[in-house]
Structure 1
Amino acid sequence: MGRTKRKRLKKYEQNSINLCYEEHLVSLQKWMSNKGWKNHKKLSLKLFPETGRGISSKITVGANEVLLSIPMNIMITYTTVKLDIPVKNIFTIHESLALFLIKEKEKGINSYWRDYINSLPEKLPPLTWLANEEEIESFPSDIKLNVEYTTTNFKNFLNKIRDFIPNNSTLADSLLKWAYVMVNTRAVYVDPHIICEESSLNLLKDEPSMALCPFLDMFNHNYLSNTEVSIINEGRCLFYELRTLSSCKKYEQIFISYGNHDNVKLLTEYGFFLPDNCYDNIKFTLDEVLKILKFNLDNNKYKFIKEHDLHNNLYIGYDGVSYNLKAVLFIGWCGVINRLDSIIFSSNYPSLFLEKKLPDLIKGLLVIKKNEFTNDLRQIMSGRIVTESAQMVLEFVKFRIDFISEVILEYR
């Protein structure tokens, strides 16, 4: 299924405001330059009207050129924080990086990392879990699940600090939350086996696969971004390298991709969503599908679905119905068939199913889900919206209704 209207990356954004002369950014770039970073592509920070802070270049950058090469000795990695890990096998890499930020922020001007820390925003993004309890209660169920998951992780972090960090009463809740969010929204992936030796991996509860990277964390996300990262070794020094695979005109905003995330992931993890996100979709559980379409599966069909993991990844997106959902819809619709696997795994579905029944089944699911989204909107609008987080959820729910309405039109 094609997207009726698909926006593309803006090739040029007018009315952007140059931020490269702000004191904290000048200090950051000077500090990075002293540590071996060279701004070959003349990258600069700007305030763009649609995305806020973002990065552009003062020169045209060709395809397959290196945009940014950051010496890893000015990245905050496991190697940086391992001596500050208070106890073995308790803290995750996320939590360890957050603790390190807190420690260095409290040092103020005496911190080696002060220029980087001063470049981080004080204001937190409108993450869903930062809304107040009354607002969260009115959120859609899938968003509430994400809120509960993140809130539980943050509370576990606070409990660990209480149990294992001496003099923890001096740490303000706002500082703990700030550090936790900064790592969650700005850290990049690194190969843990490049960062440290195998013998030192047991200091953490998980693998040291996250790091904080100065300047790189100022790039905004777009799913159309065509970049790649790698860690290279030059003269016994490691560099975190960002390369663009397509050309970028001077002064246009340069984006990176945070991953192939749908809008629920972007909203809950980063505090924004993209109205034209090609990875967005409408999700269903197996129980929802069976209930909405009134399918009565016998034991053999139900067992087949479970054994072949067809009950997961049930969704309808811009490109149509997922492989698993199509299989489940066929299994629910068809009568007694001896060899389901020969049809499903070869995608040899009968034309009657593909041309007549499948569109009707999909539309039936979408209409019910649209009603659910409409009820979500009524629910959140019936309460008092105070925080930016709740306002963002409200805008997302409105978008969801528009999105599913557009998808439904594909099955008229």
Structure 2
Amino acid sequence: MFSSNNYESSQSCWNDKLQRLETWLSGSRDFRVSENVVLQDFPESGRGLYQKSGKTTKNDVVVTIPSDYQLNFHTVVYHMSQFNPNLDFEGITCEQPNIEKIYTTDPRFKMYGILSKEEVLELSSFQLLCLYIILEWKLLSLCCTTESFWKPFFDVFPSADELKSIPALWELSNDVTNKQLFNCLPFASKSHAERIVALVRNDWTVIKPIIEKWCDMIDTGNGLNVTPQDFYSDFLHIYFVINSRCLYIQIPLKDNIADNFTLVPYVDFLNHDADSERYCTPKVNKLKRGKCGLGTFSIVGGTHEYKQDGEQILLSYGAHSNDFLLNEYGFVLPTNKWNYVDVSPHCESLINDTMVQDFLKANDFWGDYTISEGDISFRLLVAFAAKVCPDFKKVEKFMLGYLTEGSFDPDMKTLTQHFLHVLDEEFKSQISNVQALTDADPMCANNVLIIYQGYERILRSLI
């Protein structure tokens, strides 16, 4: 049981880390936090920014973080170039390091020195940041007493335990406790988790040889050898810190949308709400770049007016369903207006006539079938029309908007209701399966239950 004394001790420790973070950020004149907000941690609502006085209204600046204090492809390249003169990207890297100190003092001269400009550029943002943070946060402490510039930021990263509800981690870390729970995930959640698992495994394959070379350079002082596998759990922790905390910013050196992100201290404490259009949004000032980075990152107020003391300041993560939120951030919302059910496998198994399948594929109506509260997607209705009507010309007219779904009744209505009731039975069965998993982590299991309960609400709106 977590006692109040434990909580108070944890709070004191966290407050110390927060104070060090704010002192570190105050090293820049561009760091700003509104005097109307305060960063707090409550057992009920969690860590976040809260209104403490006055008002926060539209376009009010809540917090501004300078570019030099963000972690992204550009700032990492800049800091690495301080130890490797070969990383000379125009307009990004620092002045030439002091060559006389190479290999004689800071071990990073030697460790970053093995990387060529071409090798660094080939790495994705995820791969480069994972490598960099592993060295600066974990490896550096093994071979010297030098602290990373980023240590105050690293110290307030969410713990591995705080990220445990992300489904991909259940698979990647061989979490026996939640292994069965992973198999109980809805189709959309499981598919999403499996995509993340594949990306993580690929990234580890890419960066592992570099970590291996770094491990060979480390003198722990006690004769113990370290291997890349010793840092695999750290890699997973860091990967999902990045994935759950990154914010969009354009990275000129990279042309892949997945590379366009930055980690922003302080801003990553803001939590999400489904009414994303009402709450705070990010703003990048590209003209204020500092000595490195891509511009100051600010959070500004939305149309919602904060005026109640203790009201939590919320950030728009986007219009995301619970399936998405669970996989990317590790949480779900009790009610979420962006929820939908991906019923593609259910519909595709229902349509077993190859002529109907070929017709839908030829017209680009095969797959991607969804339902949401009060709404059956048009793609699904077209698939049902093709299932119940052998006259494909008539279905084509429906596709083009010349006919309504009522033109295919009563067969269409009968099939739709049958389909929804079959889904209802499946979801009820899955809820029972999740409730029966006594070994699963209670919080993780409850998140999965909330997703299924959201599905049930959608079905009730349609049946």
The more displaced of 320-329 and 335-344 is: 335-344
Correspondence list, 1:13-412, <5 A: 22-35=15-28, 36-58=30-52, 59-82=54-77, 84=80, 86=115, 87-88=119-120, 90-106=122-138, 107=140, 110-124=147-161, 125=163, 126-131=165-170, 132-133=175-176, 135-138=178-181, 139-140=183-184, 142=187, 143-165=189-211, 166-168=213-215, 169=227, 171-193=230-252, 200-201=253-254, 208-225=259-276, 226=278, 227-234=280-287, 237=290, 238-246=295-303, 247-250=305-308, 251-285=310-344, 288-292=346-350, 295=351, 297=353, 299=355, 301-338=356-393, 340-346=395-401, 348-349=403-404, 351-353=406-408, 358-386=412-440, 388=441, 391-412=442-463
Task: Compare CA radii of gyration and give the structure with the larger one.
Answer: 2
**1:289, distance to aligned residue in structure 2 (A):** 1.5
**1:79, distance to aligned residue in structure 2 (A):** 0.9
Give the match's secondary structure for 1:282. strand
Quick check: 1:266–1:273 contact (8 Å CA) kept in 2?
Answer: yes
**1:154, distance to aligned residue in structure 2 (A):** 2.6
**1:18, distance to aligned residue in structure 2 (A):** 9.0
Q: Percent identity?
A: 20
Root-mean-square deviation (CA), in Å?
3.1
Give the match's secondary structure for 1:136. helix
**1:224, distance to aligned residue in structure 2 (A):** 0.8
The amino acid of 2:160's aligned partner reads K
Quick check: 2:274–2:319 contact (8 Å CA) kept in 1?
Answer: yes
Q: Distance in 2 between matches of 1:64 and 1:19?
A: 33
**1:218, distance to aligned residue in structure 2 (A):** 0.4
The more displaced of 119-128 and 342-351 is: 342-351
**1:259, distance to aligned residue in structure 2 (A):** 2.3
Query: What's the TM-score, normalizing by structure 2?
Result: 0.72
CA separation of 1:69/1:136 partners in 2, compared to 1, >3 Å: closer, same or farther?
Answer: same
**1:337, distance to aligned residue in structure 2 (A):** 4.2
CA separation of 1:231/1:311 partners in 2, compared to 1, >3 Å: closer, same or farther?
Answer: same
For structure 1, the residue ranges without an aligned partner over 5 or more in a row are: 1-16, 194-199
Quick check: 1:359–1:411 contact (8 Å CA) kept in 2?
Answer: no
Query: Per residue, is there more strand in 1 or in 2?
Result: 1
CA separation of 1:396/1:347 partners in 2, compared to 1, >3 Å: closer, same or farther?
Answer: farther
CA separation of 1:353/1:145 partners in 2, compared to 1, >3 Å: closer, same or farther?
Answer: same
**1:276, distance to aligned residue in structure 2 (A):** 0.8
Quick check: 2:348–2:367 contact (8 Å CA) kept in 1?
Answer: no
**1:402, distance to aligned residue in structure 2 (A):** 3.2
The amino acid of 2:69's aligned partner reads I
Give the match's secondary structure for 2:259. coil
The amino acid of 2:386's aligned partner reads I
Q: Deviations over 1:288-307 (max 9, x none)?
A: 22544xx56463x4334223
The amino acid of 1:161's aligned partner reads I
Q: Distance in 2 between matches of 1:317 and 1:155?
A: 33
Q: Which residue of 2 aligns with 1:11?
A: none
Give the match's secondary structure for 2:371. strand
**1:19, distance to aligned residue in structure 2 (A):** 8.2
CA separation of 1:298/1:268 partners in 2, compared to 1, >3 Å: closer, same or farther?
Answer: closer
Quick check: 2:322–2:339 contact (8 Å CA) kept in 1?
Answer: yes
Q: Distance in 2 between matches of 1:359 and 1:33?
A: 64
Quick check: 1:51–1:220 contact (8 Å CA) kept in 2?
Answer: no
Q: Deviations over 1:277-333 (max 9, x none)?
A: 111112112x522544xx56463x433422343223311112411121122222222
Quick check: 2:424–2:459 contact (8 Å CA) kept in 1?
Answer: no
- How many residues align structurally? 380
Q: Distance in 2 between matches of 1:327 and 1:178?
A: 44
Give the match's secondary structure for 1:192. coil
For structure 2, the residue ranges without an aligned partner over 5 or more in a row are: 1-9, 81-111, 216-226
